[in-house]
Chain A
Amino acid sequence: MTGPTSDGPTREAVRDRLDRVTDPELDRSIVELEYIDVIEIDAGTVTVHLTLPTAWCSPAFAWMMAVDSRTEVEKLPAVERARIYHHEHMHEIEINRGVNAGRSFPEAFPDAEDTVDAVRAELDRKARTARQYDAVEALLEGGLESETIVSLRPTDLERTDGDDRLSIYLADRAVGVSVPAEPIDRYLEKARETGLVDDETDPLFLTPEGEPIDPAEFELVHRRGRLAQVNMSSQGGICDGLRESRERRLGGVAND
């Protein structure tokens, strides 16, 4: 290589990239979930070690988190190569080898019938549904009616009061409401990522199946968003518990 020798990225920059990686089943950041054990930086090579709550965690999910970590860290200009290592996972050898060699899931797991794409799409659908609940709650709290909410489009959202608020104007701008931007941005991130809200004039909110919402069905769709949240946080409770009991079994080994 004749390229310039890099000093490598800062640890903060790497953590910031990893923070964008979610546990796909829980839709929460792997940094926040404390899956990351160690980040090693050696010039342009970054090595990330992570441990999931249980050795039995789905290989497909473990695979997605490793691939996403690698992709995110390698987005940093100062990084030439990211290596990701799962620990204490029953399929860590297949996953670590496969992900670091850039193989596909079926190449790494000869038993697997398919790539992880379908599983990922299904979990993305659930994450979008759950995030929509928070976004819609913010709008309801801001005083919007359900008929208005189902008719919104991304183009109706205006950033006026700085970054952390959004405004929506109604009745030919005679009325305006201001709501926190965070839940709506978080929802939009997933809706855009999954290609469902592509255009500024697409309907902003959708049913779990990806259809525009019939105003008569608003309440039911909203309850399904809440249900998706309860499902994810219940599974989070199971993962959390399994991790605690493993740590107890290993004699209270802490991450740091």
Chain B
Amino acid sequence: MYDHNGEEIFVIDGHVHLWDATEGNITHEGGEEFIQCFYDYHTTFTPEERQWSIEEYRKYGAERMVEDLFENAAADMAIFQPTYLTDFYGDGFNTTEQNAELATEYPERFVLNGSFDPRDGEAGLEHLEELNETYDLQGVKVYTAEWRDESKGWRLDDEAAFEYLEKCEELGIENIHAHKGPTIRPLNRDAFDVADIDDAASSFPNLNFVVEHVGLPRLDDFCWIAAQEPNVYGGLAVAAPFAQNRPAKFSEILSELLWWLGEDRVLFGSDYAIWNPDWLVEAVLEAELTQDDRMEYGVEWDLETKRKVMGENAAELYDIDIDEKKAQFREDEISERFDLEDHYASDAPAAADD
């Protein structure tokens, strides 16, 4: 747990990947463009001394991921968000199966999400059922801009997508994470348009729609939709690292989110390995809203809000009992391995984070 001036904050990293972008796995030039574009985002918003080489970045593996997330207790839990991209990568870029390697080894620490693509038709619906049987899914990540043969993307308000959302409802998969973020070349910009969330969210009031990357560069469209649809949430991945080298901008984005969505509907995510929670969590928790923004928006980035955004809101969506988790983490394998037992001791103060 993060120790914030003597106060414990339970951190659920809402957006992590375990990907493979090694050259051997790339089957289409789009795969190389994609990882290079990710790498640009990595270097742009990572402190220089924490940047990885492109070779490390292509494939870091399960071991390193466990260390980055948990070794210094930056995160307590993490949610895998798969990104298939099977037209670009032979074995897929970051599939549920790839993520399952870690998620099934440390089920107490990871939430494993599935994925669907309505263009897969009947076979895709069956596959979703199988995934659900194997992994007991609570959520899916969808990537509306993914290429599939001639198609350059799909929309969540398509008739075909609605069939999948009905299936999710039926299977009890309640959390739909939609990547709506910056243009990742070579994917088409319009396929990340957020407008489709509006109709999907009002048609499926029992599902939660988490818009990843808060729709950037369509923060305005996203907030406007979220203000009207109570089951729409914002995932902070991409916005979060602004805290590190664009603090005034971070303050403004966060103020807008808190003003339009409120403190219960914003979720932290690192987007690991684009950014690493081992420095990002601290950057976000130590960030402050500017005096001007606090006056203008009337919102606060205080302890209560931080606890919600960094963990409690995700816990609510995924039925995670944080107190129960703390008790469990007093003696789980990860705590043992990294000597974190004291961290989760009920009445002892958390170990200093740095």
Contacts and interface: CB of A to CB of B under 8 A. Distances in A.
A230 B256 contact: yes
Contacts of B43: 245, 248-249
A248 B44 CA distance: 10
A29 B218 CA distance: 20
Interface of A is mostly: helix
Interface of A: 25, 54-56, 58, 60, 90, 119, 126, 129, 223-224, 226-228, 230-235, 237-238, 241-242, 244-246, 248-249
A224 B256 CA distance: 10
Contacts of A233: 249, 252
Given A230-B253, A241-B45, A241-B245, A54 B40 contact: yes
B252 A234 contact: yes
Contact of A231 (B33, B182, B217, B259): B217
A111 B256 CA distance: 37
7 contacts: A25-B217, A56-B40, A223-B259, A234-B216, A234-B217, A242-B44, A248-B43
Contact of A60 (B33, B189, B223): B189
A245 B246 contact: no
Interface of B is mostly: helix
Contact of B217 (A55, A227, A238): A238
Given A241-B246, A242-B40, A245-B44, A231 B220 contact: yes
Sorted from nearest, which 10 A-B pairs have the closest CB atoms? A235-B217, A56-B185, A241-B44, A231-B219, A231-B220, A245-B44, A245-B43, A237-B249, A227-B220, A237-B246
Interface string B187-204: 001100000000000000
Contact of B183 (A56, A227, A241): A56
Contacts of A232: 217
Interface string B96-112: 00000000000000000
A227 B256 CA distance: 7
Listed residue (A232, A242, A248) with the most chain B CB atoms within 10 angstroms of its CB? A242
A237 B37 CA distance: 16
Contact of A234 (B184, B186, B219, B259): B219
